[in-house]
Structure 1
Amino acid sequence: MSCSYAEGLSKYENKGKLGLPERFDPSDEVERKVQILAQWMRESRHTVIHTGAGISTAAGIPDFRGPNGVWTLEKEGLKPEVNISWDDARPTLTHMAIVSLEQRGYVQYVVTQNIDGLHLRSGLQRKKLAELHGDMFVDKCNLCQRQFVRSSAATTVGQKSEGKACPARRGNGRRCRGKLHDNILDWEDGLPDADLDLAISHACVADLSLCLGTTLQIVPSGNIPVDTKKRGGRLVICNLQPTKQDRHADLIINTYVDDLMKRLLELLGVPLMAYTPEDDPLKITQLLLQGSKVIGRSDEDAFEPIEWTIPEEWVKDRDLAERVKSRKVIRKRPGVKEEVIERKKVKNSQIPVAEEGMEDGKMEEQVGLYHRNGEVVTNEEEEEED
């Protein structure tokens, strides 16, 4: 549950701008904008979708900064009235629409800040997904760093040890000697390198980045969609509240994400895939675990969990690297023709501070500190470089 996750995090005062009023475009305006989005998706050779907590509210999981969000209500000493358990939640229409679009070739990659595991459970392939803040349904070994799908949601956050032995085997066939930990980031934990690298790379080569259900207040995840815009691509945002990156967007759609995605599928002629437990890695893991117990063997001997590790070859994909290299940052200065400069890849080793200052659709950016290539820099300095 969102509340249990929030309560498990360390104390952190700066959670961003909370409880901003929601906005709704008129129905005819939504239709006009979705038609534009559909055309841009047809034209795009590489589309990346960035998702936040807003795509999971329809599953009964509260968001964090909305009018009834976990942290919004927390300031008043309250908790959300609706708060389904992680295990009982199911992928929403938006989760399944994303899978449907990916299967038809309209979406090439998904970057999520969500830890609810609903992208995993929707059937989206690991090769198509970067989970920047972790996943409630994934364990990680502290020694070999491999990741495995769990049979139920983790009961801890902050990458704590569960005391369970890693099920991986080494090259000599022997068991890894590491211990499994949850892989949910706390506020100041480092983002997973492989997920972050791939998220940045795909955003840089994208012709279109579509942000769904996020105010983009957390860096670096909230800055990644702008990599697309800086390199000549388009940026579309669908959210009910203003976001930090509204000023960069080519199109802003203020409507429910499920309504947007339903209409988008219709315009593109893509059938909506249904959620099926048979394709849910969580349900598959539960069946595998039950089967190992039925035959009377120990988990260590019989149970082999589904692996969720990003292989090194995906991160070092030569084709992707060449495409990143070919996409230059386009800098436009007053009174000067557009200038093309080399891209500088940003590596952030900390989950960042939430940025304050969003008021009436505008953001006054707070200078936040984080690490980049061993140096402590500010997000203002990064803005100047890019």
Structure 2
Amino acid sequence: MSGLTQQDLNVLGHYARTGNRELYWNYLARHEDSDGYGRLALGVVRNDNAPGRVANIYADARAREDGRNLRESDWERFGVDLINQDLRRRQMHFNDNRPDLALNLPARDVQRSHDVAFHNARIDPDAWTPRALLEAARNGRGEREVEHIWKNMLDNGYFGGPRLGNTIGSIASNMSLWEGGAYTGRLFAARGLATGAHATTDPNTIGGPPLTFSYNERDRSWTQISSGGMVPHVSEVTNPRMLDDLNDARRTRLHRQELRDDFHPADPNRNRPIMSSPWVVADAGAADRPGQSAVALAAARPGELTAAQCAIHDQCRDGVQRLAAGYGPEGEANLSARLARLAGDQGFRQVDAVLTGGGNAFIVEGHPADPANRNAHVGLREGLETPARDSLQAMAAQGAQSREDAAPQQEQQRTAARAMV
């Protein structure tokens, strides 16, 4: 019988005790007979795909209704409690000689784990996204219908497209018109807010359009970027309470970053990349995703770029990646190169920030909140669609022209130096 072994439980127990949520779910996601729950949970931990963002926003909204305004560290503690509750149920099935159920928990056990964790956090357990639907199905058609709905929710075939249709069908079949309408409204409200949310993997970028917060490591300041208008409004954060919340989130993310490499010695995945979150149709902010495009920036970069141009490009690339806007590998490569070319055209010495707003992408030299900074912009669509190779070749031409212009002056300097000998 396939399923979890005692060694599997030992490794999972280590991750649960140390609060390593990402490696806990990664271990389950990597198991060859996994039902997909572990991988789905990774999207919640990292907030880096549509299902994960919807789950987090849905839970936070319910908590706020209950008067519980949790900070990122509070949600991290909730997540750690959840993996401990999850592990207990897996251990129970293993002790009952059901290693298969220990690996792939029945829906009632997954729900019970969430119920206990939400209760411990003093939040209504309906904050778990599928709970209202599963309870309606349990009260109407029984546990078999609950398992059927749960299996559909775990199915990421065809990029999650059928899952959406199946979920809507299940709502119609198991909930009254009023209940189904209210539940669907909550889901779509969360989905709307999730569109611009950033992943929680970057400690220096928090929030998401239309309101993003960026941390400057040089002066340890936070900048607020509002992209609601034609031009982003940038200001330094000075509110003590807001600064406390932002620093709390940053500390939490830095701690998670440290844990990502803390593999158990018996974890067979320690030399493998951590499993990516499932990509779904709702994540299609751009046409590309890792594996969808063969374009790589390294292949596009000509060798003629100067060291200064390479540094500018790397700064633009880092700024684009901090946007976490779901442009895909090709879109990010194109935009990074186009902004680097813009920086060269405008004579920028460095790029300290990349912002978007009003359909444009901006580069900033200096602190974004400093009125004296330099900035320039290019149309966002142009930046995303201009091939990286074209922009980099134009940059190479800039570098060649600069070297050509500098050659006569350098020769004059060498001639003068020889005359002095």
TM-score (norm 2): 0.26
Q: If each structure's helix is expressed as a fraction of its own residues, which one has the higher value?
A: 2
Q: If each structure's strand is expressed as a fraction of its own residues, which one has the higher value?
A: 1
Larger Rg: 2
